[in-house]
Structure 1
Amino acid sequence: MGLLGACGAPVPPGAELNLCLRHHLAAYDWVSRDVGVTDVLPSPCLACGSRLGVRYPSGWLCAVCEWKVGDLPDGIVASTRLDVVYYLRAGQRIKIGTSANPRARLAQLSFDDLLAFERGNRLLEQQRHSQFAAHRIGRGEWFDTNDELLAHIELLRAGVDDPWNSYSLWVSEHLATHG
């Protein structure tokens, strides 16, 4: 017969404390009140767009900018402008565009994958269009998939699982330095 906790219920094998599962969970809940639990936010942070948060009994905080989820941004946060160049894939084509509000812009477009973000405005976008001009489709923002462009996108994605994480970090840094 295995160990029994102080309450008389069995202790899970390998447990570091002589507690049953129910009391382990109660202890976890007790500790998480102070340290929080990192998890996916119920909706993107209104201040920075991050999807990673910390859940406390009193509510959620964004894990990137620490904005209280549900509070509406105001002042400098609401007027924060951070231009990015975005790279999207649709079939065998890649779009290079720019936006100061990528969530709203990308919601207007039809695409298969968001490949990367790069901090920059229309000037950088135009430079990228010139850089990859040999693969441009017509006069628009779409390009045939090619090794040079894919290598550039891989450099932008280095160490980044989700392009939105980069964007959230940039917004948070911008707020910290300009707020």
Structure 2
Amino acid sequence: MPTEPACLVPACEARADADALVALCAHHLALAADSGVGEDVLPQPCPACGSRHGLRLPGGMLCATCEWRQGTWPDADLVAPRVDVVYYLRFDDRVKVGTTANLRQRLGAIWHEELVALERGDRTLERRRHADLAEARIARTEWFRMTDAVVAHVERVAGGRDPWALHARWRSEALALRG
């Protein structure tokens, strides 16, 4: 019959709990569980970005997406913050490069398969992107053929980040800056 290893906590002479993922005794497992640090589900969606992914800390919970403190609320009388973005939508073998200050509403009005990237910016940046990708532009539209240059540009802008999480972060920052 194998014996359990010793608890990893220095100076603890107890044996590690057999079912523990980490070699800690029952006492130190309980202390770790009570430390209050870890990932969790928020009790309600974050008021700043809508995420349910939370981070439990000794001082309370934060939204893991935008770091808004759980239990604090944006002033309901204030208009939602304006966050101008240049968006990249994929549909079939094309990409649309457009701009909006109301991302969800705009994307609801455009037939697309996937939001592939976002960058903060307004019409000035949008026009610059259209000029940068002009060789792939589809006749006077905001749609571009999926050429190697377009794919490389979109991948560079996306940077491996989830565009919705990025947008949530920007909205939260805009709320926080308003006070």
Give the TM-score taking structure 1 as reference length.
Answer: 0.71
Corresponding position of 1:166: 166
Q: CA deviation at 1:84?
A: 0.3
1:131 aligns with 2:132: yes
- Rounded to whole Å, the distance in 1 between the matches of 2:41 and 2:161 is 15
Note if contact 2:136-2:145 (Cα within 8 Å) is conserved in structure 1. Answer: yes
Number of the residue aligned with 1:61: 62
Gaps of 5+ in 1: none
Q: How many pairs were matched up?
A: 169
Partner of residue 17, structure 1? 24
Alignment of 1:31-50 (within 5 A): 31-32=35-36, 35=37, 37-39=38-40, 45-50=46-51
Cα RMSD for the two superposed structures: 3.7
How many Å separate the matches in 2 of 1:135 and 1:171? 32
Deviation, 1:149, is 1.8
Percent identical: 43
Paired position in structure 2 for 1:86: 87
| 1:96–1:142 Cα contact (<8 Å) kept | yes
- How far the C-alpha of 1:68 sits from its partner, in A, is 2.5
User: Residue 149 of structure 2 aligns with which residue?
Assistant: 148
Secondary structure at 2:67 match in 1 = coil
Deviations 1:46-104 (A, max 9, x none): 31355642258xx96312232437x7632586421010011011110101111112123
Residues 77-116 of structure 1 correspond to what in structure 2 (within 5 A)? Answer: 78-116=79-117
Report what 2:14 is aligned to: none
The CA distance in 2 between the partners of 1:81 and 1:103, in whole Å, is 13
Residues in 2 aligned to 1:93 and 1:50: alpha-carbon distance in whole angstroms: 30
CA change 1:170–1:13 in 2 (3 A) is: closer
Q: Structure 2: how far apart are the matches of 1:42 and 1:108?
A: 32
Q: For 1:143 and 1:131, locate their aligned partners in 2 and report how far apart those are by CA, in whole Å.
A: 11
In the alignment, is the contact (CA less than 8 A) between 1:48 and 1:65 conserved in 2? Answer: no
Q: CA deviation at 1:43?
A: 7.2
**In structure 2, what residue type is equivalent to 1:167?**
H
Q: Which SS does the other structure have where 2:26 is aligned?
A: coil
Query: Matches of 1:52 and 1:65 in 2, distance apart?
Result: 10
The letter of the residue matching 2:132 is Q
2:13 counterpart residue number:
none
TM-score (norm 2): 0.71
8 Å Cα contact 2:48-2:168 kept in structure 1: no
How far apart are residue 134 of structure 1 and its match? 2.4
Tell me the amino acid that sits aligned with residue 115 of structure 1. V
Distance 1:152 1:105 in 2: 22
Gaps of 5+ in 2: 8-16
- Residues 13 and 85 from structure 1, CA distance in 2 versus in 1: closer, same or farther, beyond 3 angstroms? closer
